[in-house]
Chain A
Amino acid sequence: GQQVMQIPQYQHVQEGEDFTTYCNSSTTLSNIQWYKQRPGGHPVFLIQLVKSGEVKKQKRLTFQFGEAKKNSSLHITATQTTDVGTYFCGGFKTIFGAGTRLFVKA
């Protein structure tokens, strides 16, 4: 069946370091969404990517959609403590990766 795999499961960084999470699908995606969930909170939509090779930026966050539309990445430059949380990718509309939990040490 359709699956979305996400790596790494956890990432510990020092504040100011960069962070990247990767999302891979077993089949081609028509689009992909990224969500952030703060500890104890609910998922909040960040962005949707639709086009092959698409790159979108939101301040320190850079989102990429692979050329084959089977993978995506989220890169955070110079992490801050406010970036703490779990980042999920979503594909096939209702299938989500298990998430990457980001810990930031001040």
Chain B
Amino acid sequence: AQSVTQLGSHVSVSEGALVLLRCNYSSSVPPYLFWYVQYPNQGLQLLLKYTTGATLVKGINGFEAEFKKSETSFHLTKPSAHMSDAAEYFCAVSDGNQGGKLIFGQGTELSVKP
């Protein structure tokens, strides 16, 4: 069975500071990994995804994530936080062989202080 653990339900950073949101996964098969962002009362928007190939993945809004198989991690980073980055972030894993359903982590709420 697959699972995702997001370390830290709440993360607070100052505007301009580094953003680091942690995600560890468990999967018995090569995983597809995703980061989604959810703004209040809205649906989820895909930030970036890893399927195969390059382990450093660049996404929208300046975010990137690195797939580290040895550490079973897929942490999300952004060099400089902006106020508009305040939102809920979800890491998810998929096993394409099982129809593409996504298994989500609990989410991390990011706050950005001025």
Task: Verify that A and B bind, or say they do not.
Answer: no
B residues contacting A by CB (< 8 A) are none
